[in-house]
Structures are given as C-alpha cells and as structure tokens.
C-alpha cells in the first residue's frame, strides 16, 4: 500500500508542476527527444533543442532560475501581470503547436546541455517519446513525468528493504519508508523529466546490497549484483563515482579481512566493464572523468591551485545551502520556507548524528555511514567545483536523495538510540507526520500560490508570504484554471484527492508499536 501511496503523490506532483519547473527539465527532455526522434544513441551537448521546446520557453511562464532568458520569455512572477488576452494567446499557441516542430531544430540559441550526463535514463525513456511522437509537447512532457514517477516510486519499497536488513523487523522498516514517501523535496526532484528518477532507486538498491554484504558476507553472487547495479548507476549519473570508495569500505567492514576486501574488486570490475567506456569517452572529449561543465571549465587548473583558491569558501554557508535545498527547495523557481522550519530539522539531524555515534560499531550502521559520508564528500567536492568555476558557495542538496535510504535509516536508528525507550516507538511516526505537514504546507501555502500568481519573489529573491489579500485577488476557481496546464481541472482535482489519500495512507503505515531497538 505504501508504494501506491507514494506513486499517487508523485502523479499529482507531475500534473501540478508548471512546464519546465523541474530542475533542468527542458534540457533533459530535449536529450530524450533527440534520441527518440533523431535515432541517436548519444547526443552532442552542443545540439540545438527542438523547435517546440524552444518555442515553449517563449510562451509558457518559466521558472525563476531562468529569469535571464530574453523576452518574450517571462517568469511565473511576471506571467500573471500580462493582460488576460496575452496569456490566452500564449496558451493557445502552446497547445496547438504542430507535432512536426518536435522533429525540427530550434535556432540554436539554447543547447541540450544535459547530454553531458550518462545516457541510461535517456535510452530507457526514448521509446516512450517515440511512441508518442505524433502527440503534442504537453502530452509528451506529462507522459514522461509519469513514467519517471513510476521509476522513482521503486525507492520506497527499496528503503523498506534497507530498514528490514538493519532491524530485521517489518514495522519499523515500513515506518522508515513512510517518512521517505511523504518528503516534499524528493517528490519535486523525481516527478519530472530527468535522470534522478532512475538514479535515486538505483542508489537505494546499491545501499541495500551494501548492507547485505556487510551482514551476510561478500559472496560472489552478491559482489556480482553490487557490480551490476553500480554499473547501471555509473551509466545514469556521475555521482555514482562516490559509491566506489564506499564499497571498498563495505568490503572491509564484513570480517575485516583482506580476502573479504578483495572480493569487492570483482564488483568494481563489473561496473567498470559496463560503464568504463562512457568515462573514457569523457576523458577523450573533455579531458575530465565526469564530463560535467564545471569540471570542463577547470580542467587546466592544477590540484595545488584548486586547494589554494578554495580556501575562501565559507563552508558553514555551503553546508547550510546543501542542507536546506535538500529538505525543501521548491523546484527551479527556488521556493523556500521560513528559516526556523529548516532549523528545527537541523536540530533533529544533529541529535540523530549523536545517536548514530553510539551505534557506529554495528556493521549495518557502518555500511550506511560509508555510503552516506562518501556521498557527502562528493557534495563537498562539488562545492569546490561550483565555487571555482562560478563563484557559488554551495551545492545542490536535492542530489542527497540518492542516499535517502541510508539517511532516513540512520536518522531513525540514531534517534531511537539517543531517546528513552518509551519514546522510541514514536520516532518514525513523528518523522512521517512532520514531513507530511511540511509537504501539505509547502504545496498549499507556497507552491500553488506562487504558480497561480498569489505570491511573487521580492527584489532580493526571497518569496512573499501568502496573505488573505493575495488569495482573494485570484480566487479558488481561477486558481484551479491556472493550474490546469497539463490536465483538465476535474482530473487535476481527482489527482489531488489521490494525493491526500496517499499522504494519509503513508502516515497510517507508521502506526506506533513496540519494536526492537537492536540494530544489526
């Protein structure tokens, strides 16, 4: 049931989000379209985006992060200031663009830069767009979002398996998975066209296999499974490179003997055999292993110079940026909530970390920490790359959903170890309720008001609070019409009811019960 509840929430988010509101969504979509229609297995990162995608960026309201696009592109903030007749004209042109525009290149002003990403997600998604090649752009985007949501929904049952391996008891494992099922940031990350929808469940599967390897020993069949999943991950997202040192630690944790560590080498060998060609291609074409734009910009900078120039990074600010953009960062419009809300979560995370320290000798906890901390090192490395290439002292916190299985399991285990036994059964339920409330609040008091013109960004980039005057200025009926870009208002309303049912069902799965505190 929990799996269905999570999927219901994702389907609603997919239909609700405005066009291209997902992180880099239009560029991800352009790569899939180029493969599907152009018949290319690999797409050049300099390839022009399709004509209909380019036109849509001039017709539909664009996210706040795209506010530098030249007119006639306008952000959500400015779109609702346009005359009703102009908005109606734009919607009509957007919905009636010829399907043939999907087979034509744009002017070349914008490029499909997400082609720098490994190709597996795009290969999997391309057949869907080929089947829908006669459909319009909006139908294709919604179908790809729903397909991505279906892939991403596998995360929840996999988090359950991680918890089951850690505790050996289904109640707490289900409750931990329920926390993941109601996280608003995760839904925003995966309910879009983009490769995170495949990367997150693959990394969660890798996490589960890593815990099994520590608990049951590194049998050859388990090493082969780890290698195969790691290979798929490396063909999906470059951040799977952080899993390689984590798996070496996992290989040592089992019995702390050299033969057990050596058994991890076949796993890494399988992964290299599967995905090595992509990274060799990156080295040949860009001079970097990952091929990402920041690495390409810095490829001529030596290691000593990178260390010297990164001395000016404000690491507290960088970690804070990663943390709050992980908890909630409303899509590419950069929607946020009040700072005190983030700090309440920070206090809980700190408490959980103290509790985890008491469990650090447990093999399962060691495996989870190896996966989680290795990924954090990757995030901090990305801080250096972004700072040196673009002057940005932070990184993308939504990347951390790749290790959400390790993260939530560690937090629950840490809090249960720290707090009194009579309180511990309530911890997963409390976590799920808190995230469900955050999800309900951010959706109804932040996202929907912004997407319907009730609130806007201030000059400094912060977001206005919702007031009664803003609600009255639009009205519920007009707000429903403004949200129905992809689907009719009646269908969107039905999906909203499914969303509510999914959220309530997820919380219900955390029913309080006495369960063992033992972590294996």
The per-residue pLDDT for range 220-265, each reduced to its tens digit, is: 888 899 999 999 999 999 999 999 999 988 887 765 556 666 777 8
Q: What is the pLDDT of residue 520?
A: 66
Out of 41-45, 166-170, 196-200, 233-237, pick the least confident: 166-170
| Whether 423 contacts 364, CB under 8 Å | no
307 by Cβ neighbours in 10 Å (0-12 / 13-18 / 19+) ranks as exposed
512 has pLDDT over 60: no
Q: What is the pLDDT of residue 254?
A: 63
Q: What is the pLDDT of residue 302?
A: 81
Q: At 423, is the pLDDT very low, low, confident or very high (cuts 50, 70, 90)? A: confident
Number of Cα atoms under 13 Å in the Cβ half of residue 16: 28
Q: What is the pLDDT of residue 361?
A: 84
Q: Name which of 160, 367, 402 is nearest 264 in CA terms.
A: 367
What pTM did the predictor assign?
0.94
Highest mean pLDDT pick, 36-50, 64-78, 188-202, 331-345: 188-202
Q: What is the pLDDT of residue 484?
A: 78
Rounded Cα–Cα distance for residues 18 and 25 (Å): 11
Q: What is the pLDDT of residue 443?
A: 94
The contacts found for 494-502 with CB under 8 angstroms, 24 or more apart, are: 495/8, 495/11, 495/12, 495/15, 495/16, 496/12, 498/8, 498/11, 498/12, 499/8, 499/9, 499/12, 499/13, 501/5, 501/8, 502/4, 502/5, 502/6, 502/7, 502/8, 502/9, 502/12, 502/181
The per-residue pLDDT for range 48-105, each reduced to its tens digit, is: 999 999 999 999 999 999 999 999 999 999 999 999 899 999 999 999 999 899 999 9
Q: Name which of 285, 160, 270, 275 is nearest 224 in CA terms.
A: 270
Provide mean pLDDT across the span 451-471. 79
* Rg value, the chain, Cα: 23
426 has pLDDT over 80: yes
The per-residue pLDDT for range 388-403, each reduced to its tens digit, is: 888 888 899 999 999 9
Q: What is the pLDDT of residue 428?
A: 86
Provide mean pLDDT across the span 112-126. 95
516 has pLDDT over 60: no
486 has pLDDT over 80: no
Q: What is the pLDDT of residue 424?
A: 75
Helix 264-286 to helix 243-253 angle (10° resolution) is 170
Q: At 470, is the pLDDT very low, low, confident or very high (cuts 50, 70, 90)? A: low
CA dihedral 348, 7, 451, 346 (to 10 degrees): 10
| Whether 268 contacts 227, CB under 8 Å | yes
Out of 134-143, 200-209, 291-300, pick the least confident: 291-300
299 has pLDDT over 90: no
Alpha helices in 235-331 (DSSP H): 243-253, 258-262, 264-286, 293-297, 303-309, 315-327
Helix or strand (DSSP H, E) at 499: helix 489-508
Structure token digits, residue 337: 């909530």
Q: What is the pLDDT of residue 109?
A: 87
Provide mean pLDDT across the span 206-228. 90
Q: What is the pLDDT of residue 256?
A: 57
């Amino acid at each position: 049931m929990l799996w269905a509840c999570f999927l219901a929430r994702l389907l609603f988010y997919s239909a609700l989000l405005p066009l291209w509101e997902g992180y880099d969504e239009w560029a991800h979509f352009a790569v899939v379209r180029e493969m599907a229609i152009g018949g290319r297995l690999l797409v050049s990162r300099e390839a022009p985006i399709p004509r209909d995608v380019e036109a849509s960026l001039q017709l539909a309201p664009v996210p706040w992060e795209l506010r530098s696009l030249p007119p006639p592109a306008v952000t959500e903030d400015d779109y609702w200031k346009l005359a009703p007749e102009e908005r109606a004209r734009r919607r009509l042109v957007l919905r009636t663009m010829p399907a043939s525009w999907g087979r034509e290149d744009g002017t070349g002003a914008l490029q499909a830069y997400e082609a720098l990403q490994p190709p597996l997600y795009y290969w999997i998604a391309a057949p869907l767009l080929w089947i829908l090649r006669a459909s319009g752009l909006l139908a294709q985007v919604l179908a790809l979002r729903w397909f991505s949501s279906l892939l991403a929904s596998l995360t929840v049952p996999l988090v359950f398996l991680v918890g089951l391996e850690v505790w050996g008891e289904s109640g707490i494992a289900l409750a931990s998975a329920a926390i993941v099922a109601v996280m608003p940031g995760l839904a925003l990350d995966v309910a879009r066209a983009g490769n995170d929808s495949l990367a997150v469940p693959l990394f969660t599967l890798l996490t589960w296999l890593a815990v099994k390897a520590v608990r049951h020993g590194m049998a050859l069949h388990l090493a082969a499974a780890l290698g195969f999943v790691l290979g798929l991950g490396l063909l999906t997202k470059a951040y799977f490179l952080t899993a390689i040192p984590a798996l070496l630690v996992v290989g040592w944790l089992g019995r702390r003997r050299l033969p057990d560590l050596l058994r991890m080498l076949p796993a890494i060998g399988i992964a290299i055999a599967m995905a090595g060609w992509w990274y060799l291609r990156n080295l040949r074409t860009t001079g970097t292993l990952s091929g990402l734009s920041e690495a390409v910009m810095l490829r001529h900078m030596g290691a000593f110079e990178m260390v010297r120039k990164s001395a000016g990074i404000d690491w507290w600010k960088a970690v804070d940026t990663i943390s709050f953009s992980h908890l909630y960062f409303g899509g590419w419009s950069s929607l946020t909530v009040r700072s005190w809300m983030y700090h309440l979560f920070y206090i809980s995370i700190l408490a959980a970390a103290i509790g985890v320290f008491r469990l650090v000798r447990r093999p399962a906890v060691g495996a989870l920490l190896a996966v989680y901390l290795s990924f954090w090192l990757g995030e901090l490395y990305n801080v250096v790359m972004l700072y040196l290439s673009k002057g940005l002292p932070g990184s993308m916190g939504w990347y951390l959903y790749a290790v959400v299985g390790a993260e939530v399991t560690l937090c629950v285990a840490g809090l249960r170890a720290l707090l009194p036994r009579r309180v511990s059964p309530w911890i997963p339920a409390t976590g799920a309720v808190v995230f469900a409330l955050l999800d309900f609040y951010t959706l109804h008091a932040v996202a929907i008001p912004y997407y319907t013109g009730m609130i806007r960004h201030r000059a400094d980039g912060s977001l206005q609070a919702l007031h009664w005057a803003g609600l009255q200025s639009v009205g519920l009926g007009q707000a429903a019409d403004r949200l129905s870009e992809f689907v009719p208002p009646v269908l969107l309303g039905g999906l909203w009811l499914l969303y509510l049912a999914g959220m309530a069902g997820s919380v219900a799965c955390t029913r309080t019960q006495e369960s063992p505190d033992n972590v294996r």
